[in-house]
Chains A and B, each alone.
Chain A
Amino acid sequence: MSDVVEKTLTALPGLFESQTGAAKITNRLRQLIKSITELTSKHEEENLIKRELSAIKEQVSSPNTTMKQMREIMVRAMYCEMLGYDASFTYIHAIKLAQQGGVLEKRVGYLAVSLFLNEGHELLLLLVNTVLKDLQSTNLIEVCMALTVVAQVFPKDMIPAVLPLVEDKLSHPKEIIRRKAVLALYKFYLIAPNQVQHIHAKFCKALSDKDPGVMASSLHIYLQLIRESPDSYKDLTGSFVTILKQVLGGKLPVDFNYHSVPAPWLQIQLLRILSLLGKEDQSTSELMYEVLDESLRRAEMNHNITYAILYECVKAVYTIHPKAELLEKAARCIGNFVLSPKINLKYLGLKALTYVVQHDAKLALQHQMTIIECLDHSDFTIKRETLELLFRITNAQNVTVIVEKMLDFLRSCNDEHTIIHLIGKVAELAEKFAPDNSWFIQTMNDVFSIGGDLLQQDVPNNFLRLLAEGSESKEEDDQLRLYAVESYLTVLKGHTSHLPQCFLQVMSWVLGEYAHLQESVDRREVIRLLTQLLDQRSVSSETRVWILSALTKIPEGQTDLILDLAESLSSSQDTVLRQQAQELRHLSQDSQLREWVLPRGAPWDGIEVDSSLSFLDGFVSEALAAGAAPYKPPHQRQEELCEDRALNLEPYSFSLPVSLSSCSITDRQSPTLLSVSSGLSGNSAELSQKAGSSTLILEGVKRVWGKDGYLPQKEATAPPVDEPSAAVQPASQQEAAERIEPRPEPSTQNQDKQQLASSLFVGLGVGSSVSLLGKSEAPPPRFRKKPRPHESSSSSGTSKRSSDSSSHSSRNTTDSFLYGSFPEEEPATSISTFDHTPKSTTANGLSQNKDTKEDRHANTSQILGGDMVIVRPSTIQDKHPPSVSSDLTALLPADLKDLPHSDVISLTSDPSLSLSSCRLFRDEALLLVIFISNCTETVIKDVAVQLTCEELKTASLRGNVMDCLEARSTSVCHYALLMDDPHTNVSLTGTVSYQTQPGHTNTLPFSGTLSTADFIRPLVVTTEEYGKLWLSLSHDVKQNLKLLTDAGDPLRTTLNALKDALQLHVVDIIGSEGIVACRLLSGAPCLLHCRVNGAALAMWLRSPHPALPDFILYHCQRALAHH
């Protein structure tokens, strides 16, 4: 073991004596640690710990063990866990210790819990009561401990239980408790944002707390909030600026200083917040120029901490709306970083440059010599960051040098993550800026051989797509293809055993498709090379399939070779290969069939495929009639095979091998067809993550939805590749030379570097810099893809669009809906209902209380927000309004009568008017209908309704202003409400103003709440569409819910209950799993996958919207709890 420890161990007794009492090391722990240090082998250590653990086990289960002993045992258990041994049997005792022990034991118990248990650990539930008790304790230390543990690990679903107590602590007299409470709420916000939405006002109070510690803690929450929606917090800019000014001015207590810099952590937090607020917002940015300037000025001392602040400052200056003077200062700062001899600062300088060159390329030019030095730096970290910087400044002129540098680095690198990350960038640069075909193919060869099978799936996919789709000019395309063929033939003639599978697949596909372009090469040679690969043991069976497909495509005339091959493979053990060999033989013998199946040079998008396989219907019905078992899809079969298996991770992915072998021979020609028939249409990047396999997926080849989306028009109109004007080059070189000139006597080595500099930094010249930068204004890629109008009609294209562009479409419908579909000119409906209104209002439990506004508020929100009172229609298709609703619904305009709606509930009333409301569920909005009834015998004039709601978009559709309301009559006005972002509950406030006598205006305020559930609409999709959509969604939440077991089929009952309560669409129920879909109005979809798991319903939700699953889950829980 450690000799250092050993040496010091001899001095141990003295050490302990000197720390009298304070070092209360328990004897056992001391012994344990001591004996471990004396051991010589890992094996001995294992034995010792094993003995120790069994001793602990005995002690914890003995009833005679006191709490005090238990504390000591727990410390030992923690030590064993730290050494990497499993002491999970002590977890429950840690909880017990926190629960039953005195303060002393509690402290250790809580520590053990926070070290042992994860957020999701089930034992944590047992801790909730202890925490509740301690939060209410009069002992401050206990409260502190409880808050500390809450802020570290707490079960998400139990947050509501402790939330009120934690909230109370925000106004505790002790600052340490306020501070911890703020951080506990921050933690809650991170794991369940919707739960703490209602306490935003209290965060504001924490921000203005007189204790700097509490205020600083609240900034964590604000940083998070502002990161998510900067627009909602612009009004706080002034406060943040003031705080920062005070900090800079040294107004905080001295003990917040760190190396005589005032509260650096606070400063950095504030600078981050300010940069988020000022981003793309000139007026907000103007508020902070002064304080940023001061920050830059104050941070002068030569210490890490000032550099940390400076770095954040520089980032802020470059993020917000630019101001020349500040930019200049920031640029100087970056210079100091980059030129610093301290390596940490150099690194940060490079990082800052990487960030900044996107805005100002000239800066890179200024530091070119340093950058070149860093490129050859011995430290891996520095090198890598330099390459990152170079990646940002790449343009058509320097691409060859930069790519070469990157490839050099990659060849000597053995870190998987770095390779994957950088090789993707190389491929991106190659595609974007390739100067010529040969360079492009050569570089891609390097990419494939270096990246190997680690490569992200989309790299080979994009490459093949590029070759296959080509550009406008057929001639150019063929040249590129030809070059690829030549290059691959050369590669295959060399040693092939070390080549990665993915490279072999790419090569065989290209040779199969385009070998015919190369007239001079003997077909036999191509066949021979490919066949050779089949004989290699290192070639995977998937690659063999690719090779055979290629061989199938190589044209006629070589029947003898092909037949030999087919013969030798027909006895293969691999059934897929055997099948392919059969196909190969048939096709090579029947040239007519081949011509039909594999038409040469057929347009890519012209081939249609019957993905429903309807041509087999006759065959299927015949087979069924003959007594065959009906077909079950694979996932169903699997389901039946293993009913009790754990949650299937990818229940809706239809695995490729099935579609590959089951699709008809016609599909071989084009990978697209596979993509249609297999029904996968996710973004290729997402797919590759999900699939997690490193093999090439066929159908990705022709996917048109790349990283940047598919933009046919833009690409069609894009100008041809800009060859940057030659004038730029000399200019930049001259500038480079000027920079270098002052350096004394350049050695030969230096000259090399200068040469490198001039090749690296071409195109970054002064005037032309910005437009030449790849990042700032993406220039048209060299290889442009053909626009393909057919795509919109293909099934994969449309389904993709419907899932991914939902956020855009919601916006569009919003506008068109709000301003288009409802004609404004319709008059307000005013119908006399003489004895009717009073009766209906009393029937609805109208509150006659006119005392105070608050009272009314409470009443109405209880009625409206309670949600339970309202009977909701079971589905939106249900055309019959429920009969329980009041007769007021008869007053609804004809065009709205058929919509499903809620009960009519009264909002408020005064002696003259009574207000009731009803919610109507339209697909794209919630309509709020307000009935205004005149309860008097006189005419009421100038009635105007105003409705406000911060969270929702509201639009008055009609009837909110009336000249007069006849006696005993009711008028109807309605609003369309749209919800873009989900909120748990939304409160509405409004007023009705009216005149009973001329010149005497009365106002009647009203308020109410709406829940997210009002904005949920069913999403009608088929199981296949659901499967595709599921894979394309990223945010997911899982939770177990209550299963309603009172009826025969618990799953069906539960889902129906949810459907009724929330207007969900039950897509399918298969065995013990059910899939359900809904969406937020016509916006973001949310998919629910439910599975019966014992007595619970395991629910898995996915949505493109990060918060939506949380809200839907919340409402599902409520719906089931109240069932």
Chain B
Amino acid sequence: MQFMLLFSRQGKLRLQKWYVPLSDKEKKKITRELVQTVLARKPKMCSFLEWRDLKIVYKRYASLYFCCAIEDQDNELITLEIIHRYVELLDKYFGSVCELDIIFNFEKAYFILDEFLLGGEAQETSKKNVLKAIEQADLLQEDAKEAETPRSVLEEIGLT
């Protein structure tokens, strides 16, 4: 996979992950072009799109478009299912996910994506394992939070 973009029906970018090195200018140009092209397509049309020398696979979930770029010899259908699996993961993690969850917790969405896809390839396809990995990291985060709290209280009352 070359890159993955999430954007809203209004064309606002919500998430972008690039697996090929491109310049910022290039990224912006691609994003702009793709968002326009995909939004212009009608709902009954097929989810694939030939674009430059790449294949674009996109799917709309509620107000959010998920859009992946793959190479010509790749399998479009399985890419569609990758998108779906990612949505399932988000759904499970946030508990019936909506666009707002992704807007306000976009870093979480990235963490989940990184556990699922790494370097553009499927890393772990078992839903359970992905979520376990995320939970473990989150748990650590909680611990660290708790350990930190007393110190900041001390700081506040000027004891340090």
Contacts and interface: CB of A to CB of B under 8 A. Distances in A.
A180 B10 CA distance: 36
B76 to A, nearest CB: 6
B22 A118 contact: yes
A788 interface: no
Contact of B8 (A2, A102, A104, A268): A2
Given A8-B100, A25-B104, A418-B50, A256 B121 contact: no
A381 B46 contact: yes
A384 interface: yes
A179 B111 CA distance: 17
Given A30-B104, A119-B21, A268 B78 contact: yes
B2 interface: no
Interface string B58-102: 000001000000000001111011100100000000000011100
Interface in B112-131: 114, 118-119, 121-129
Interface stretch (A306-314, A401-409, A816-824): A306-314
A255 to B, nearest CB: 4
Given A5-B100, A268-B75, A120 B21 contact: yes
B140 A4 contact: no
Contacts of A114: 114
B153 interface: no
B156 interface: no
Contacts of B49: 381
Contact of A384 (B50, B76, B128): B50
A141 B136 CA distance: 8
B1 to A, nearest CB: 12
Given A83-B13, A103-B140, A33 B103 contact: yes
B144 interface: yes
Interface in B125-150: 125-129, 133, 136-137, 140-142, 144-145, 148
Interface string B24-54: 1000100000000000000011111111110
A344 B126 contact: no
A304 interface: yes
Interface residues of A, number: 80
Contacts of A343: 44-46
Nearest to A118: B21
Contacts of B129: 176, 213, 255
B119 A417 contact: no
A560 B28 CA distance: 59
A258 B130 CA distance: 14
Given A179-B124, A213-B124, A255-B127, A307 B48 contact: no
A165 B145 CA distance: 30
A115 B77 CA distance: 27
B77 A308 contact: yes
Given A108-B107, A141-B137, A384-B50, A253 B13 contact: no
Contacts of A82: 13-16, 106
A321 B82 CA distance: 31
Contacts of B80: 304, 308, 344
A104 B145 contact: yes
A12 B51 CA distance: 38
B78 A84 contact: no
Given A79-B106, A111-B107, A217 B100 contact: no
A440 interface: no
B113 to A, nearest CB: 10
A543 to B, nearest CB: 29
Contact of A107 (B98, B111, B142, B148): B111
Contacts of B17: 115
Contact of B45 (A12, A108, A120, A381): A381
A180 B123 contact: yes
Contact of A379 (B45, B106, B119): B45
A12 B101 CA distance: 10
Nearest to B121: A220
A217 B119 CA distance: 11
Contacts of B121: 183, 186, 217, 220
A151 interface: yes
B4 to A, nearest CB: 12
Interface in A138-174: 140-141, 144, 148, 151-152
A253 B126 contact: yes
Contact of B78 (A30, A253, A264): A264
A187 B21 contact: no
B145 to A, nearest CB: 7
A190 B45 CA distance: 35
A265 B118 contact: no
Contacts of A212: 126
A417 B28 CA distance: 19
A15 interface: yes
B99 to A, nearest CB: 7
A1 B104 contact: no
B123 A183 contact: yes
Given A180-B123, A255-B126, A102 B77 contact: no
A891 interface: no
Contacts of A179: 123-124
Given A84-B13, A344-B48, A344-B76, A152 B119 contact: yes
Nearest to B47: A344
Contacts of B118: 148, 151-152, 180, 183
Nearest to B16: A82
Contacts of B24: 86
Contact of A256 (B45, B125, B148): B125
Contacts of B63: 2, 4
A483 to B, nearest CB: 36
B148 A347 contact: no
Contacts of B140: 103-104, 141
A569 interface: no
Contacts of A115: 16-17, 110
A216 interface: yes
B98 A8 contact: yes
A263 B8 contact: no
Contact of A103 (B100, B122, B125, B144): B144
Contacts of A118: 21-23
Nearest to A101: B144
Given A23-B104, A151-B119, A344-B76, A213 B10 contact: no
A154 B28 CA distance: 22
Given A5-B99, A263-B125, A381-B48, A258 B85 contact: yes
A301 to B, nearest CB: 13
A961 to B, nearest CB: 50
Contacts of A23: 104-105
A876 interface: no
A104 B144 contact: yes
Contacts of B119: 151-152, 183, 186-187, 190
B104 A217 contact: no
A29 B125 CA distance: 32
Contacts of A351: 76
A200 to B, nearest CB: 19
A56 interface: no
A312 B50 contact: no
A265 B125 contact: yes
A307 B47 CA distance: 15
Contacts of B81: 258, 264, 304-305, 308
8 contacts: A78-B106, A180-B123, A183-B121, A213-B126, A263-B125, A264-B81, A343-B46, A344-B77
Given A82-B106, A119-B21, 6 more contacts: A107-B141, A141-B137, A151-B118, A265-B78, A308-B77, A312-B75
Interface of A: 1-2, 4-5, 8-9, 12, 15, 21, 23, 25, 29-30, 33, 68, 75, 78-79, 82-84, 86, 102-104, 107-108, 111, 114-115, 118-120, 140-141, 144, 148, 151-152, 176, 179-180, 183, 186-187, 190, 212-213, 216-217, 220, 253, 255-256, 258, 263-266, 268, 304-305, 307-308, 311-312, 343-344, 346-348, 351, 378-379, 381-382, 384-385, 417-418
Of all A-B residue pairs in the complex, the 4 with the closest CB atoms, nearest first, are: A308-B77, A343-B46, A255-B128, A308-B78
